[in-house]
Chain A
Amino acid sequence: MLEAMLNGLMIVLQLKSFTYMLIGATIGFFVGILPGLGGAATLALMIPFIYRMTPQEALPFLLGMHSVTATTGDITSVLFGIPGEGTTVATIVDGYPMTKKGEAGRALGAALMSSLIGALFGAFFLALIIPMVQPLILAFGSPEMFVVILLGLTCIASLSGKGKLGLLMGLLSGGLGLLCSLIGQDRQVGVLRYTFGQLYLWNGLPIIPVMIGFFAIPEVIDITVRGQAIANKVAFGKLGTGVWQGVKDTFTHFWLVLRCSAIGSVLGIMPGLGAGVSQWVSYAHAARSAKTDEERALFGKGDVRGVLGPGAANNSKEGASLIPTVAFGIPTGGGMAILLGAFLVLGLVPGPDMLSKHLALTYSMVWTIALANIICVSVCLLFINHIAKLTTVRASLITPPIFVLCYIGAYTASNSMGDLLLMMVFGVIGYFMVSNRWPRPPFVLGFVLGDLAESYLYVSTTAFGASWLLRPKVIMLFGLILAFVFYPYIFKLLTHKEVPDEEQI
């Protein structure tokens, strides 16, 4: 095992492999920063380039690119409130308010350092778990996967606000997301649902225009309304000063970062869940770590822990999501599905061979994730002061490029004018939700997972009838959901710190 690990390192450190990894990481750096140009789409665009490469060159190239997109995607989320990647949406919730307070440097320092720790944790997790992965994957069937999705949704809904009203609004927002995810052709029977005769809607709502509309359009509207730089009223030279504070914050809250990395890794293994869920569950966990109501109220207004949690989780999933892809040929998401295609192009068949005959190559993937992220974060930290200063550029100069990026990002989803219309519709919905203080994160989770939740529910009901509800792991997971919903009340009851009155219960 140790020998295979060292051989894996040697593969990555060969001149050609290392050069390809650097090229991949450089592409990934820009792909992550540009909204709409996703890591998965770029992986697909890069496949034609690997035909002449050996697996030892192609895998560092592709993985080097894919593994840094989440890291640099955080930069756009923090600076402009636009998700650079679909996996970096949760970073906006606290990262962007920090930027507006003039703490862009600190937020970026925290996001990058937690991303690095997350990525290293994910790589370590991958290395550790390779020998014992099979039983873990097989332990979760469709019923458990369905309840895990409900758990993710409840986590974020319970976080959406204080009290009963906050929880209800969170659940409603998540429900709306689920409902929107149902638009398009039904996978089971092929019936067209809520398409209203529109061919564009047959394949469902594409995620990128929806996300850009939902998060970025309210942002450009707000910047236009304010007519000031993103970090207004902040002295130009003060932005970069917080970078090391952000790095220090990562180590001050080191256990939180590690716990969120673990969440990212565990959820990263589950096919279909990955960073879409782990970023929100880890955000929920970070918010839960607040000890008092006053402390918790800071989340959403620029608490650095709200940046650290998702930052760590969306990178730690990278290593973990390779496990089912490499070991069973089960891709955990779009990016991994494309990587699986690349494996086949290179003549590699996922399965036992990857854990025996090609073990050194498998470990080279671990090293690639670790090294690409170390290099990427080091470069980012060197130039972060300059990047953060973008937020002091006057609104009249920064807004038009953001507008252009929104429209280009939305359009490239399926190269259709329908994408732009969809983005505008969700821009209006997003703006009215945010201006009326309806939480948006549960909607995102519901929308991302709706299709998968329905498939798991359908398979569970078809295979087990209603008896799947009585499976021990399902009951345990439902217990966990209840614990999440009632956690504040249970905590107060157990600690006797504050006896909840009737209204609170």
Chain B
Amino acid sequence: MKSRFNGRAVICLILMAVSATAVLIAWKWPMQTALFPVVIGIMIFLLAIPTLILLLTGKEEAAGQAQAVDREITSDYDEATTRRRTLIAFGWVIGFFLLIFTVGFSGAVLLFVLAYTRFQGGEKWWISLVMALLSWLFIWALFVRTLHIPFQEGLVQKGLRLLGII
């Protein structure tokens, strides 16, 4: 029997751990509150056991079955390139969040689009600048001016306000 401990099995194990924890936490609650989480948690745990066995034995995988009806990510590159590029992409996701946290939404949009287009996309400076300005203008016109979305200030603005500069 060939063992196939892969990402799918890891997710299955995580689900088992999450459901067990959910049940243990719910055990202390009143019956009305705990009923649904306990039922769902136990169901997940019980269903995860045969799933894990099937995944580890790899029978259906080998038969080309169990293909999820969902989209598939790209497989055009070798594993190392894909992993490196994926980490960079997640870096941009986290970086944008940190920018928003630091300089607020409007400033972050301007800086992020400029940086991404120039450094990740390799576009010319003037194209990057035009893209950044257009994105900022769109956000400002629609969400700030028209819809009055209350965007939180970034750390920089808060700091400047504390110092009495703005």
Contact = CB atoms under 8 A, between A and B. Distances in A.
Interface of A: 45, 81, 92-93, 96-97, 159-166, 168-169, 171-172, 175-176, 178-179, 182, 186, 188-189, 191, 193-194, 217-218, 220-222, 224-227, 287, 297, 299-301, 394-397, 399-401, 403-404, 407-408, 411-412, 415-417, 420-421, 424, 427-428, 431-441, 453-454, 457-458, 461, 503
Nearest to A457: B36
B32 A400 contact: no
B69 interface: yes
B156 to A, nearest CB: 15
Given A407-B105, A432-B7, 11 more contacts: A81-B71, A162-B66, A165-B54, A168-B47, A189-B32, A189-B33, A194-B25, A226-B74, A404-B139, A431-B73, A435-B73
Contacts of A92: 71
20 contacts: A161-B68, A166-B67, A168-B47, A169-B68, A179-B22, A188-B32, A222-B74, A224-B89, A226-B76, A297-B67, A397-B121, A399-B116, A400-B112, A401-B135, A403-B92, A411-B105, A415-B151, A439-B68, A457-B35, A461-B35
B73 A222 contact: yes
A224 B85 contact: yes
A221 B135 contact: no
Contacts of A165: 51, 54-55, 60-61, 65-66
Interface of B: 6-8, 10-12, 15, 18-19, 22, 25-26, 29-30, 32-33, 35-37, 40-41, 43-44, 47-48, 50-51, 54-55, 59-61, 63, 65-74, 76-77, 82, 85-86, 88-90, 92-94, 96-97, 100-101, 105, 109, 112-113, 116-117, 120-123, 127, 131, 135, 139, 143, 147, 149-152
Given A166-B66, A168-B47, A182-B40, A404 B89 contact: no
Closest 5 CB pairs of A and B: A396-B121, A224-B89, A436-B7, A165-B66, A163-B65
Contact of B96 (A171, A175, A403): A403
Given A172-B47, A454-B36, A437 B105 contact: no
Contacts of B63: 163
A225 B89 contact: yes
Contacts of A503: 59
A396 B123 contact: yes
Contact of B113 (A217, A301, A400): A400
B132 to A, nearest CB: 8
A397 B51 contact: no
A175 B73 contact: no
B69 A397 contact: no
A166 B30 contact: no
Contacts of B68: 160-161, 166, 169, 300, 437-439
Contacts of B109: 404
Identify whether the interface residues of B are mostly helix, strand, loop, or mixed: helix
B40 A220 contact: no
Contact of B100 (A160, A397, A407, A435): A407
A396 B47 CA distance: 43
A103 to B, nearest CB: 14
Contact of A161 (B47, B65, B94, B112): B65
A166 B8 contact: no
Contacts of A191: 29-30, 33
A453 B40 CA distance: 11
Contacts of A227: 85
B24 to A, nearest CB: 12
Nearest to B40: A178
Given A168-B47, A179-B44, A300 B69 contact: yes
Nearest to A227: B85
Nearest to B90: A221
B6 to A, nearest CB: 7
Contacts of B41: 179
Contacts of A160: 68-70
Contacts of A93: 69-71
Contacts of A440: 70
A310 to B, nearest CB: 13
Contacts of A224: 85, 88-89, 92, 120
